[in-house]
Amino acid sequence: MNEILRARTLLKSVFGFEAFRPGQEEIVAAVFSGDPVLAVMPTGSGKSLCYQLPALLGEGLTLVVSPLIALMRDQVGQMQALGLAAATLNSQTNEAEARETWALIRAGSLKLLFLSPERLAMDGLMEALSTAGVRRVAVDEAHCICEWGHDFRPEYRMIRQSVERLGAVQVIAFTATADRAMRVEITERLFDRKPQIFVHSFDRPNISLSFAPKDQPKKQLQGFLSPRRGQNGIVYCASRAGTERLAEFFAEQGFDTVAYHAGLDFSRRNANQDRFLREDGVVVFATVAFGMGVNKPDVRFVAHADMPSSIEAYYQEIGRAGRDGLPADAFTLYGLEDMALRRRQIDEKALDPERRRVEHQRFAALATLCEATSCRRQILLAHFNEEAAPCGRCDVCQGRVALRDGTVEAQKALSAVYRTGQRFGAGYLSDLLTGAENEALRRNGHDALKTFGVGADQSKQQWASTFRQLFAAGALAVASAEHGGFALTEKGKAILRGRENFTLRADPPKQKSEKKSSRAPAREGEQDPAEARIFEALRKLRRELAQDQGLAAYMVFADRTLLEMAERRPATLEDLRTIHGVGERKLALYGEAFLEAIALAGA
């Protein structure tokens, strides 16, 4: 208990936080107990503090295993900005930096050493560290150990063997995404005895969720991004070419953009990532290669230009938004081609039957989320075995998705699939249903079928939507991996024969983008003009200080801290000390400058 009291004191004096976030204190207490620990906490809930505080308060060295160099560099930068003894050894560490780090280790003054799993397994490193007083090993992004996970890293399998060479040290592990099966696998592969396991809510209530079927996706993205000009954001794309194409297009529209994918040369990729992490108002267009390295708290939105690969990947990726707890948005585009591609990828993988079944279940969960007819947050959390009330903030809850009984339309569509031999796709079948003039239909004799023209009361676009929703619901399957087309499933046959009903979503009408642009995070109600002016002045000062010191802007102060300063307008250092995120070191370094900026902007 005494250790927890010391931790609370350090929480305020160093980090500037008045209290622990929900769930943190019990995990910190478990770490202090010396037991192995596995903690599953949502992104942005403060996992890193759960190993940082015990490391700073206790004796010895804590090794932190992290998957990406950029993430390690970022975390070390944050620790050093707070005046704390942290370092990293990785492939980009130069000889002088390595010498300095080893000198700190030998002197016993280094508290946190960040390493990749590959570096951890290097010959001789564990032997060299075995006399360095290593107290514990903290494994970040622990889901990477799971072979069925979306971020599987084979090197994570070597961690336990490496740690055993250190002798009896405590192992603690953290992740934002691990269902029950993944937690079992992590426990078996990482720990030598059963850990204390903490599973906290997966809910991120500050992130609003919305989805839209693809219909001129570039314009749809433009409609989403335009009112968010000047905010930090990520747009995930399925292809490398897509990232560069969209980054270039939106740069021409006046956005500050960078592209990120594994095909870029190393220096450009790092430079683009650093720009996003260090500057304000940058939008990165990226493949999923840009993921775990994102530790920026003030990302205001995450968009998907293409359907994510799984519901776990979707959760992990939208989790990059709103880590500071302020409102953020997640917007996802998806299409029939995306769904067919994902199913085909599962079918073409060399998987055993059980794993293929699980992969199809995960796909079905994602498709259900895309074509949701009830609260999206409820559906997302239910996948992680968590119950929730309707959120009131997603597009379904807000009434932006119209629902109706679509059984008759579904039967017409399924009949068209059946009567044409279960080998044609949505475009051909929509032409059949609308009675379109089509040479292929005449050549195949399908213009003589009873279903020809029975759907003329709807547009081809509406029928394409119906086919997409039937496919997402598992009523249709891909007829041929080589040629595509649709075939009926057992569910599809049940709907066709009247044994099951089918609910259809009406695709949302095209909306004009909002004209209003806000550089500040969205807040309840209208922001006072004077408050907005002070906030912008503080952002400008933050940017200048960060550039002078070679830091990311949020390492000076996060948006949440600047917003509170702008709202409360502290006039003295003592007033400033009460602001969230203002610890003693930052008060000494930046206090006078920010007080002056507040006074000038508020005059």
For position 232, which CATH number holds? 3.40.50.300
Q: What is the CATH number of the domain that holds 414?
A: 1.10.10.10
Task: Kindly state whether residues 483 and 545 are assigned to the same domain.
Answer: no
- Inside any domain, residue 460: yes
Q: What is the CATH number of the domain that holds 597?
A: 1.10.150.80
pLDDT, tens digit, 9 for 90 and up, residues 179-214: 788 899 999 999 989 999 999 888 999 999 999 999
Task: Kindly state whether residues 33 and 78 are assigned to the same domain.
Answer: yes
Distance separating alpha carbons of residues 551 and 548, to the nearest angstrom: 8
pLDDT, tens digit, 9 for 90 and up, residues 132-184: 889 999 999 898 898 766 678 888 998 999 898 888 899 999 998 787 888 99
Task: Kindly state whether residues 391 and 424 are assigned to the same domain.
Answer: no
pLDDT at 539 over 80: yes
- Inside any domain, residue 516: no
Distance separating alpha carbons of residues 19 and 6, to the nearest angstrom: 12
Distance separating alpha carbons of residues 523 and 324, to the nearest angstrom: 13
Instruction: Give the mean pLDDT of the chain.
Output: 88
**The total number of structural domains that make up the chain:** 4
pLDDT at 429 over 90: yes
pLDDT at 524 over 50: no
3-state secondary structure 118-170: HHHCCCCHHHHHCCCCEEEEEECCHHHHCCCCCCCCHHHHHHHHHHHCCCCCE
- Inside any domain, residue 304: yes
- The pLDDT, as a whole number, for residue 507 is 63
pLDDT at 518 over 50: no
Q: Report which DSSP code applies to 446.
A: G
- Inside any domain, residue 524: no
- CB 330, CB 370: distance < 8 Å: no
- Inside any domain, residue 255: yes
Q: Residue 235: what are its φ and ψ, rounded to 5°?
A: -120, 115
pLDDT at 567 over 80: yes
Task: Kindly state whether residues 120 and 147 are assigned to the same domain.
Answer: yes
Task: Kindly state whether residues 323 and 417 are assigned to the same domain.
Answer: no
Which of these three, 354, 373, 401, is where a domain ends? 401
- The pLDDT, as a whole number, for residue 274 is 84
- Inside any domain, residue 456: yes
pLDDT, tens digit, 9 for 90 and up, residues 382-421: 888 888 899 999 999 988 888 889 999 999 999 999 999 9
The predicted model gives 448-455 an average pLDDT of: 93
The SS3 assignment for 211 reads strand
Sign of CA dihedral 289, 291, 294, 300: positive
Of the chain, the percentage scoring pLDDT greater than 90 comes to: 54
- Inside any domain, residue 521: no
pLDDT at 482 over 70: no
Which band of pLDDT confidence, cut at 50, 70 and 90, is reported for residue 490?
very high
- Inside any domain, residue 514: no
Q: In what order do the strands lie in the sheet with 170-175?
A: 86-88, 112-115, 61-65, 134-139, 170-175, 37-40, 196-199
Which band of pLDDT confidence, cut at 50, 70 and 90, is reported for residue 527?
low
Q: What is the DSSP string of 548-566?
A: HHT--HHHH--HHHHHHHH
Task: Kindly state whether residues 386 and 408 are assigned to the same domain.
Answer: no
Task: Kindly state whether residues 386 and 256 are assigned to the same domain.
Answer: yes
Rounded to whole angstroms, what are the CA distances from 198 to 25, 170, 175, 388?
Answer: 11, 16, 11, 19
Helix (H) or strand (E) holding 477, with range, is strand 476-480
Task: Kindly state whether residues 229 and 191 are assigned to the same domain.
Answer: no
- The pLDDT, as a whole number, for residue 293 is 56
Task: Kindly state whether residues 478 and 423 are assigned to the same domain.
Answer: yes
Task: Kindly state whether residues 396 and 421 are assigned to the same domain.
Answer: no
Q: Residue 171: what are its φ and ψ, rounded to 5°?
A: -115, 130
Which of these three, 181, 199, 217, is where a domain ends? 199
Token pair for residue 235?
């747009």
Q: Which domain holds residue 167?
A: 2-199
Task: Kindly state whether residues 285 and 212 are assigned to the same domain.
Answer: yes
Task: Kindly state whether residues 149 and 240 are assigned to the same domain.
Answer: no
Which of these three, 199, 217, 235, is where a domain ends? 199
